[in-house]
Chain A
Amino acid sequence: MQKKKITKRDVKRNLTWYSFIIVTLIALAVLVYFPTLKTFYFSATNMGTYGTDYEVIGLRNYRTLLTSKSFLKALANTMLLALYGLLTIPLGFLLANAINSLGRTKLQGFFRVMFYMPNIITGVSVVLIFQYVLKGNGGLLNQFLSLVTGREVTIGWITDPSLSHVGATIIWIWMNLGYSMLLNLANLQSIPTEIYDAASVDGATTWKRMIYITVPQMKSCFAFLFVTGMINGLSRFTDLYILGGNACAGRPNGTLQTILMYIYQYSFESPRYGLSSAGAVILFIIVFVMTIFNVQLSGFLKGGDD
C-alpha cells in the first residue's frame, strides 16, 4: 500500500481535531512521561536525602537492590501476594455462576450489589475491621474455627510470619472478590444461549457444558482479570502498610513488605531517592512486562486484520 504524503494543507485541515487532544498530550508529557524519564535518570544517580548534590553512578543502585536481601524479600513477597490474590478469579467465577443460575431476577440484582459492596469500602476501613477478624487472640475467624473444631484456636493470621500471607490474602480476596464476580457475571451473561441449547440437545451434562462451553468462552475475561489482578497485586501498599502499624516494615518479620513499601521507605522515611527510583524502575519493568503479556493475550496488537 502506497503511503500518502502528508501535506501542510492536510495538517491545516486537521488542526481542529488535533487541537482537541493537544492539551491531553501536553499534560501527559509533562505530568507522566517527563517524571517517568526523570525517574529513570535519578535511578542512575546517588541522589540522597535532600535531592541535591548528586552524581551519576551508573547501575550501582540496581546492583545494590538486586543483591540486597531485604529488597529480594520484598520482591518475593510482592510476587507471592500478587499470585495468591489471583484466587479472586476462580472464586469470582464460581460466585458469578451461582448468581447467574438465579436467572434475571431481583434476587440476582440483590446479590450482585451485595457482593460488590466490599469493593467500594475504603481499604483502610477494611483493614481495621479485618484486624479484629484475623487477630490470633479472640479474632472472629479463630472463634469460628474454635466453634467448628471444638477446641480453642489461636492462629496468628497476621502476626505469625509463616501465616501472614494467608491473612493478607484473605483481606485481599474480600476486597476484590466483588469486582471479579461482576466481570465474570457480565461475561457469562454475554455467552450466546444458543450454544447451551445446542449442547443440551446433544445431551451434554451441566458439567460438560461448563468445561466445554463456559470456560473457553470466559478465556478473555480470565486473561483480563489475570493481568489487572497481577498489576494491582504488584502495587499493593495501603492495606499492608496499615496492617503493619502504619509502617513500611512489613510486619510480621518483613513478610508483608512489598516493593512499593520498600520504595516508600527510601522515598519518605529515610530518603535515598536514587535507590528508591531504581526500585520504582524495577517495579515499572515488571508491570510493563505484565502489560505486554496482557496485550498479547487480548490480541490488541492484532487489530486491523479483523
Chain B
Amino acid sequence: MKRKLALLMSTVLLAVAVAGCGSSGSSSQNDAGGGNTETESKEEAPAATEETVVGEAEDSFKVEAEVDTGGYQKNESLDLDEKVTLNVFGPGVFNVGEEGVTDLTSGIFKPGYQEIIDRWNEFYPNVTLEIEPAAWDSWQSAITTACLSGEVDIIMHGGTMTDLTEDLAPYLDKEPEYYERIYGTASRRTTEHPDAFKVSGISVSLSPCIGWLDTKIFEDYGVDLPTSDWTYDDLLELAEKLTGTDPVTGQETYGVLLYSSGGSNLWFNYVQAANALGAKVFKYGSSIEECEVDFMSPESVAAFQLISDLSKFESPGSKEGVAVSSTINGENDWAIMFWDGVMAKHFEAEAAELGDRYVPINMPLCSVGEYKGIPTPHAGDNNMAIFKDSDNKEWAWEFIKFMTTDEKATQWVVSNMEVPNNKAGKDMVQELVGSELATVIDYSLNTLPEYYNNATNDVFNNVSFGSVTNTLITAVDNVVNENMTPEEAAQSMQDYVDEYLSTLN
C-alpha cells in the first residue's frame, strides 16, 4: 500500500515538476524593448537597478562625430552669481545612474549622468544639479509625492502630468529659433486647452514607432519589400501573403506582430488604426463633463475591424500574450513587426549578427483624415517638464534647452541609445545605427504632427477618463482573440465612457 502511495505521489510530483520546467522556449517578451511612450514606459524602460551597473563595459560606444548641432550658448542674461540648486526628479534618461550602465543586449556601455552635470557646470558653475532618478514603478505617484514636498524644479517625464507642470508654450513663443531646432514637444490635450494641446514638457529623446521587416521571410515567399509609401491595405495584403508555411524552411510564419502584442500597451493599436482611418472620437470641452465621446462612429468601428483583420495574420501565441518574441534573434516567426524602441531593436539585430536581415520601415501611411499621407503618428519619448511651483523656472527652462541643444548633451543622449530631440543630432544617430534606420527615424519624426501625443489626442485620452485605458486593452484583446466583434468592442468603450461620465455628476 505504502509503495503504491509513494508511486502515486511520485507521479504527482513529476507532473508538478514538468509543469515547473515547462518553460523551454524563450521567456515572454511582452513589451521588451526600449519604447518609452508615456504610460507604456513604466514597464519598458528599465531602471538602473535592473541592469548591470557600472564597471568596465564589455564594449563601449561613444559618439565621436564632429557634428555641428548648432550648439548651446551660455545665457548671459541669467544671474550667473546667483547660487541655485536645480532639483531634477523622475524616471527617464537619467535612470542610467550617475556612473552609467551596460546594456544587457548589446553590451554597450551607457554613460551616466555625471557627464551631464560636469558639462552643465562648465556653463553654470553657480547652479548645482541635483538629479534623483525614479524607477518606473508607480512613477506618477512618486512624482506627485516629490512635488508635494516642494523640492522639485524639473519633473522627468512630467509631460503627462499636466496639473503639475508649467505651460511651456509661452517659453517657446519667446524663442522660436529654439523650437525650430527640435523635433517636437511633450504636449497633452487637456480640458484647460479645449482647442489645442498644452505644451507640458519638452522631449529629451524621441522614439518613433516603426516597422521591422524580416527580409528572409519576404525572400522565401518571393514577396517584394514594401516601400515607404505603403498603406494599411498594403500591410494587410503582405501579412496575408507571408502567413503560412515558409516554402524554404518549412516553418510556420505569420505576417504580422501587432504593437505590444500581449502586453499592456496593446491599446495603442487602436490609436494607430483610428488615426490612420481618420476617426475623431473625442471632442474636447471646457470640462470633462462637456467632452463629447463617440467610439461608435464608422471610422472608430473600422479601426477595431482593422485590428481584427491584422490579428488574423498573427501567431496564436502572440494573441494569447504568451511567448511573444518581439526580440530580434533570428528565430522570429513574424515577417513584419511594429515597435517604438528603434535603437534597442537595431542593437538586438546587431547583437544577433542579423543587422542585414531585419530592415526598418516607417509606419504605414494614414489613408484619410487629418493625417492623410503621413506615416501613422506614434512616438515614445523621455521628456522634461517644469514643476509649476518651482522657484527656479528660468534655470529649469535653461537646463531643458541645454539638454536638447548642447552638442555634448546630445552626444550623451545618443550614447545612451536614444534618439535626441535635436534635428541636428541626426548625423550622430546615423553614425550609431547607419543611414537606413537614421533616415526612417528622421522621416518619422519630421512628419509627426505638431503637438501630437500618443495618449491624449482626438481618438483617445488616457488621462481624464478613469480606467478607460484598461477598458481599451480589454476591447482590443477581445477583438484580437475573437471574443468580441469590432462593433461590440466599440460599444464596450462607449458604455464605459458613458458610465464614467455619469459618475461625475
Instruction: Give A residues with C-beta under 8 Å from B.
Output: 49-52, 64, 68-70, 95, 98-99, 101-103, 107, 111, 114-115, 118, 121, 128-133, 135-140, 154, 156, 158-161, 174, 244-254, 257, 262, 265-272
**Shortest distance between the CB of A213 and any CB in chain B (Å):** 19
**Contacting A249 at CB < 8 Å: which of B161, B465, B477, B499?**
B477
Q: Decide: A101 and B2 in contact? CB cutoff 8 A.
A: yes
Main secondary structure of the interface of B (DSSP, over half): helix
Q: Decide: A156 and B320 in contact? CB cutoff 8 A.
A: yes
Q: Decide: A140 and B18 in contact? CB cutoff 8 A.
A: yes
Q: Decide: A247 and B470 in contact? CB cutoff 8 A.
A: yes
Q: Decide: A69 and B262 in contact? CB cutoff 8 A.
A: no
**Contacting B466 at CB < 8 Å: which of A95, A132, A270?**
A270
Which residues from B are CB-within-8-Å of A154? 316
**Shortest distance between the CB of A306 and any CB in chain B (Å):** 38
**Contacting B470 at CB < 8 Å: which of A102, A121, A249?**
A249
**Contacting A246 at CB < 8 Å: which of B31, B463, B496?**
B31
**Contacting B25 at CB < 8 Å: which of A98, A111, A132, A269?**
A132
Which residues from A are CB-within-8-Å of B317? 135, 137-138
A-B contact pairs, 6 of them (CB 8 A): A49-B144, A95-B12, A252-B481, A252-B483, A253-B477, A270-B463
Which residues from A are CB-within-8-Å of B105? none
A244–B161 Cα distance when bound, in Å, is 26
Given contacts A132-B323, A136-B320, A49 and B9 within 8 Å (CB-CB): no
Q: Which of A64, A174, A247 has the most CB of B within 10 A?
A: A247
Given contacts A50-B164, A68-B499, A137-B320, A254 and B263 within 8 Å (CB-CB): no
Supply 14 further A-B pairs (C-beta < 8 A) apart from A115-B13, A132-B24, A253-B483: A49-B144, A52-B148, A68-B503, A118-B20, A129-B20, A132-B22, A133-B19, A139-B322, A245-B321, A246-B264, A250-B470, A252-B481, A254-B474, A270-B465
- Cβ-based interface call for B172 (8 A): no
Q: Can you list, as one digit per residue, whether each of B25-40 has a CB less than 8 Å from chain A (1) or not (0)?
A: 1011011000000010
A267 closest partner in B (C-beta): B141
Q: Decide: A114 and B483 in contact? CB cutoff 8 A.
A: no
Q: Decide: B463 and A251 in contact? CB cutoff 8 A.
A: no
A70–B503 Cα distance when bound, in Å, is 13
Given contacts A128-B28, A137-B317, A137-B320, A111 and B13 within 8 Å (CB-CB): yes
A138 closest partner in B (C-beta): B317
Which residues from A are CB-within-8-Å of B263? 245-247
- Cβ-based interface call for B427 (8 A): no
Which residues from A are CB-within-8-Å of B469? 269-270
- Cβ-based interface call for B223 (8 A): no
- Cβ-based interface call for B319 (8 A): yes
Chain B residues with a Cβ closer than 8 Å to the other chain, count = 63
Q: Decide: A174 and B467 in contact? CB cutoff 8 A.
A: no
**Shortest distance between the CB of A299 and any CB in chain B (Å):** 34
Which residues from B are CB-within-8-Å of A254? 474
Given contacts A251-B474, A270-B469, A245 and B1 within 8 Å (CB-CB): no
Q: Decide: A249 and B471 in contact? CB cutoff 8 A.
A: yes
Given contacts A129-B19, A131-B322, A246-B264, A99 and B467 within 8 Å (CB-CB): no
Which residues from B are CB-within-8-Å of A128? 23, 27-28
Which residues from A are CB-within-8-Å of B351? none
Q: Decide: B470 and A265 in contact? CB cutoff 8 A.
A: yes
Q: Decide: B477 and A252 in contact? CB cutoff 8 A.
A: yes
**Contacting B473 at CB < 8 Å: which of A68, A174, A249?**
A249
- Cβ-based interface call for B478 (8 A): yes
**Shortest distance between the CB of B33 and any CB in chain A (Å):** 14
Q: Decide: A246 and B30 in contact? CB cutoff 8 A.
A: yes
A52–B6 Cα distance when bound, in Å, is 62
Which residues from B are CB-within-8-Å of A248? 467, 470
Given contacts A64-B503, A246-B30, A49 and B467 within 8 Å (CB-CB): no
Q: Decide: B141 and A268 in contact? CB cutoff 8 A.
A: yes
Q: Decide: A251 and B477 in contact? CB cutoff 8 A.
A: yes
A72–B18 Cα distance when bound, in Å, is 37
- Cβ-based interface call for B368 (8 A): no
Question: 9 smallest A-B Cβ distances: which pairs?
Answer: A137-B316, A247-B264, A249-B470, A249-B473, A135-B322, A64-B503, A131-B322, A140-B22, A265-B467
Q: Decide: B144 and A135 in contact? CB cutoff 8 A.
A: no
Q: Decide: B19 and A245 in contact? CB cutoff 8 A.
A: no
Which residues from A are CB-within-8-Å of B28? 128, 131
Which residues from B are CB-within-8-Å of A138? 317
B316 closest partner in A (C-beta): A137
Which residues from A are CB-within-8-Å of B264? 244-247, 249
Q: Decide: B144 and A51 in contact? CB cutoff 8 A.
A: yes
**Shortest distance between the CB of B41 and any CB in chain A (Å):** 12
A140–B25 Cα distance when bound, in Å, is 12
A131–B147 Cα distance when bound, in Å, is 39
**Shortest distance between the CB of A94 and any CB in chain B (Å):** 11
Given contacts A50-B163, A140-B18, A102 and B6 within 8 Å (CB-CB): yes
**Shortest distance between the CB of A240 and any CB in chain B (Å):** 13
Given contacts A51-B144, A246-B30, A98 and B5 within 8 Å (CB-CB): yes
Which residues from B are CB-within-8-Å of A102? 2, 5-6
**Contacting A50 at CB < 8 Å: which of B12, B24, B144, B266?**
B144
Which residues from B are CB-within-8-Å of A158? 320, 322
**Shortest distance between the CB of A253 and any CB in chain B (Å):** 5
Q: Can you list, as one digit per residue, whether each of B470-490 has a CB less than 8 Å from chain A (1) or not (0)?
A: 110110011001011000000
Which residues from B are CB-within-8-Å of A115? 9, 13, 16
Q: Decide: B481 and A159 in contact? CB cutoff 8 A.
A: yes
Q: Decide: B467 and A270 in contact? CB cutoff 8 A.
A: yes
B44 closest partner in A (C-beta): A246
Q: Can you list, as one digit per residue, whether each of B243-283 has a CB less than 8 Å from chain A (1) or not (0)?
A: 00000000000000000001110100000000000000000
Q: Decide: A156 and B470 in contact? CB cutoff 8 A.
A: no
Q: Can you list, as one digit per residue, whether each of B291-331 has a CB less than 8 Å from chain A (1) or not (0)?
A: 00000000000000000000000011101111100000000
Which residues from A are CB-within-8-Å of B20? 118, 121, 129
